[in-house]
Amino acid sequence: MKDADGCRRRTIPRGAWIVALALLVRAVYVVFGVARRGGVAQVSDFLYTHQLADSLAHGRGFTIEGVPIFNQSVGYPAFLAPFYAVLGAHVAVALALNVLLGAASAWLVYRLTDVLLADAGGTGVGRPAAGPAARVAGVLAAVYPDSLLYAGLVSAENLLIPILLLLALAVVTRFRHPWAQGVVVGLLAA
């Protein structure tokens, strides 16, 4: 893109600063609020999720200490498993991924708000002023305390939230081919 003087200028993708804010807030929370204060030891379902991801990463199946598990969701451990296989089965790997997933969620809130408000106020001439409301929604999602709590836990909510936001975005976005929208919505819903 060129400005009025004909000079080339860099463009930053819309909402990128919301991602940066969310990354910063979550990284500070995980490092200083969780790791340095209370440690990264997990108990209960969080420990089981970590152990299941470790088991999957090392080819032992969906087991804990050799016992097949049937009462835990496979999605988040399966998401973590390839990262554990490459980077090591450390809670810190899951926490770093949670920071990234949380930042993605903040951007998805921004984008979903932008799409919903653009469609709601469409005048047929350019885009309506959805930007300010979308920015407020994105910032709130980036710093909202309840969403920060999951960043420090090996918890499926870290993956579930961006998937649900993607699903909502896929439902309200116009696809060139309706069948493609059906495939995307079906995959995300499943």
For 164-178, what is each residue's pLDDT tens digit?
999 999 999 888 998
Quick: pLDDT tens for 74-109: 899 999 999 999 999 999 999 999 999 999 999 999
User: Beta-carbon neighbour count of residue 77 at 10 Å?
Assistant: 26
pLDDT given for residue 124 in this prediction: 46
Helices in 29-144 by DSSP H: which ranges?
45-57, 75-87, 91-120, 131-143
Q: What is the pTM of this model?
A: 0.80
The β-bridge partners of 2 are: 8
Question: Dihedrals φ, ψ of 7, to 5°?
Answer: -85, 145
CA gyration radius, the chain: 20
pLDDT given for residue 142 in this prediction: 93
Question: Dihedrals φ, ψ of 63, to 5°?
Answer: -135, 160
CA atoms within 13 A on the CB side of 96: 10
Looking at residue 155, the DSSP 8-state letter turns out to be: -
Q: What is the dihedral of CA 135, 17, 36, 78, to 10 degrees?
A: 90
Quote the longest CA-to-CA distance of the chain.
68
